[in-house]
Structure 1
Amino acid sequence: MSLLRNLVVVHLLSALSMLNSHVFTHAASTSPPVTRPRIIFLTVLDTDDDYDESEFANYGSPPEVMATAKTPSLHREVKLCRYDPCQENQKPCTQLSAQTGCLCPGVSRADEPPHAPRIKALLPITEGNDTGKVAVLWCAPSSVVSGYRVVVEGHSGDAYELGHASRRGVVDSLEVGTKVCVEALNNAGHSTPSEFSCKRYDPPKSPDHEFLAWIIGGGVILLLLLIIGSLILWKCKMCKKGKRDSTDGLGNPSYSTGGTL
């Protein structure tokens, strides 16, 4: 009986072991394959520097090599020419650029009509031989200019021609509100009048005129105050006189200086 029992136990153990191996085989066949990370090996070529492999293991990338030689800067400081387009009789900007290497502002081509200049002011002349006339001041445009023309409204046939270096012209006396325009000229034509190349004459007020206006204004105000004060005094006197007359007219009629009635 003991032998028979031992045989039964052996058969049971062998059956269990076969069942476990079948289950493990089925699980291995149905589970997805394990994806292992790809290992990339770095190889340093053509270098004289020796690096420790432990640094590669710790940081994952080779140390950065700093350049010891300084690269010369190719940029140069930009220097603009000291050229004022509103100043009269100065050196052309092209000549300044050739002498010092400075940069000039861009200009339009010589085969194109110039841009319109800009009027700075219309000022009356109070001294010298041109006393009573008007000075016209302007600034040059960013164009090739061979000359300027000053045109006064109402005097189309009396235009004033001036050279390319001029920034000032003198015209005859003008009435207040007269329009004055400045045109730039070259071989391709002339500039088109614009809101900043034309200006209406509005002479500034002199200090003497302002002082005289203050005096006149003060005199008018003083005269008005005197008139108003006189009216107030006259009104007060009339009121007092009316009260006095009304008091005298309301006396006791039974009173008599000669005795009783």
Structure 2
Amino acid sequence: MLGSLSLLWLAAMTTSLVSQSQILTLEDYQEGEEDDVTVATPSLAVRCDYDRCRHLQVSCQELQKVGPVACLCPGLSREDQQPEPPRLGEVQIMAEEGYAVVHWCAPFSPVSHYWLLLWESNGAPQKSTPLNATVRRAELKGLKPGVAYVLCVVAANDAGESNVPGAEVEGPENWTGPSFGPCRKFIMPPKPVTLVYAAVGVGTALALLSCAALVWHFCLRERWGCPRRQGMAQASEAL
């Protein structure tokens, strides 16, 4: 009898515990695993704010050092190779002031400095002072009106300097290099003030010639008379 009561008491306690407990299903188990596991999403790399045609542009390697996150740089050639030629942009001519402004883009090569080569007539090229690797703009002063020039931009590093197409040609008149590259030919136009003076001079000369022609015509007419009028007068007298 005592054993039966004990069994009944154990059965009642087991039923009470089972009713109070929470039954875990397979879905609950999977949700628990998802809560415990944290998925790390890798951050996407962005390009560095580097423009190879921007004036005073620092190197892309410097941008990688100072940036808050790692950025990507364009591919460059090796440092033990001579740099590729830069690309010379449009030459802006200031005829009235007598100078020109040039822009260029850096090559995809390590560059330590630049310099400019300027040919005038048949003489040797004039070489500028070295320009910093961040420079992309320069002014050419002292240009002569009506003169043809050939301008080239050269990039240099420890391995050498970039090639200059048509460097063996003497004078801008014989230069036939490509228009898209490190060199360009341009002609400095006359100053606008010079054109005004020339126009005034030509107009004055034409006015003087016209006056001289009229004076000469009337002087001859007064001196020798008009043959046509004399003939008409004689014909009227005969009638």
The secondary structure found in structure 1 opposite 2:232 is helix
Q: Identity across aligned pairs (percent)?
A: 29
TM-score under structure 1 length normalisation: 0.48
User: For residues 207 and 122 of structure 1, do their structure 2 counterparts lie closer, same or farther at Cα, with a shift above 3 Å needed?
Assistant: same
Once the two structures are superposed, residues 202-250 of structure 1 have per-residue CA deviations (whole angstroms, 9 ceiling, x without a partner) of 334444334334434444555566567x39975xx69x93232113333
The count of aligned residue pairs is: 174
User: For residues 218 and 138 of structure 1, do their structure 2 counterparts lie closer, same or farther at Cα, with a shift above 3 Å needed?
Assistant: farther
1:114 aligns with 2:62: no
Once the two structures are superposed, residues 67-88 of structure 1 have per-residue CA deviations (whole angstroms, 9 ceiling, x without a partner) of xxxxxxx9x9996544333333
1:163 aligns with 2:132: yes
Task: Say whether the 8 Å CA contact 1:118–1:140 is kept in structure 2.
Answer: yes
Once the two structures are superposed, residues 180-223 of structure 1 have per-residue CA deviations (whole angstroms, 9 ceiling, x without a partner) of 32211112221111333223453344443343344344445555
Q: Residues 184-195 of structure 1: matches in 2 within 5 Å?
A: 184-194=155-165, 195=178
Q: Which position in structure 1 is the counterpart of 2:55? A: 88
The secondary structure found in structure 1 opposite 2:200 is helix
From the CA coordinates, give the structure whose radius of gyration is larger: 1
Deviation at 1:122, TM superposition (A): 6.7
Unaligned 5+ segments in structure 2 are 1-40, 166-177
Q: Which position in structure 2 is the counterpart of 1:197? A: 182
1:183 aligns with 2:168: no
CA distance in 2, matches of 1:157, 1:227: 51
Return the letter of the residue paired with 1:242: P
User: For residues 150 and 247 of structure 1, do their structure 2 counterparts lie closer, same or farther at Cα, with a shift above 3 Å needed?
Assistant: closer
- RMSD (Å), alpha carbons: 4.5
The secondary structure found in structure 1 opposite 2:115 is strand
Q: Which position in structure 2 is the counterpart of 1:30? A: none
Q: Which has the higher strand share?
A: 2
Deviation at 1:157, TM superposition (A): 8.1
Q: Residues 58-97 of structure 1: matches in 2 within 5 Å?
A: 81-96=48-63
CA distance in 2, matches of 1:134, 1:232: 50
Task: Say whether the 8 Å CA contact 1:113–1:189 is kept in structure 2.
Answer: yes
Deviation at 1:116, TM superposition (A): 1.0
Q: Which position in structure 1 is the counterpart of 2:232? A: 247
Q: Residues 198-217 of structure 1: matches in 2 within 5 Å?
A: 198-200=183-185, 202-217=187-202
User: For residues 222 and 93 of structure 1, do their structure 2 counterparts lie closer, same or farther at Cα, with a shift above 3 Å needed?
Assistant: farther
CA distance in 1, matches of 2:234, 2:126: 87
The secondary structure found in structure 2 opposite 1:160 is coil
Task: Say whether the 8 Å CA contact 2:57–2:135 is kept in structure 1.
Answer: no
User: For residues 157 and 220 of structure 1, do their structure 2 counterparts lie closer, same or farther at Cα, with a shift above 3 Å needed?
Assistant: closer
User: For residues 217 and 86 of structure 1, do their structure 2 counterparts lie closer, same or farther at Cα, with a shift above 3 Å needed?
Assistant: farther
Return the letter of the residue paired with 1:89: L
Return the letter of the residue paired with 2:182: S
Return the letter of the residue paired with 1:162: L
Task: Say whether the 8 Å CA contact 1:108–1:144 is kept in structure 2.
Answer: yes
CA distance in 2, matches of 1:103, 1:232: 84
TM-score under structure 2 length normalisation: 0.51
Q: Which position in structure 2 is the counterpart of 1:147? A: 113
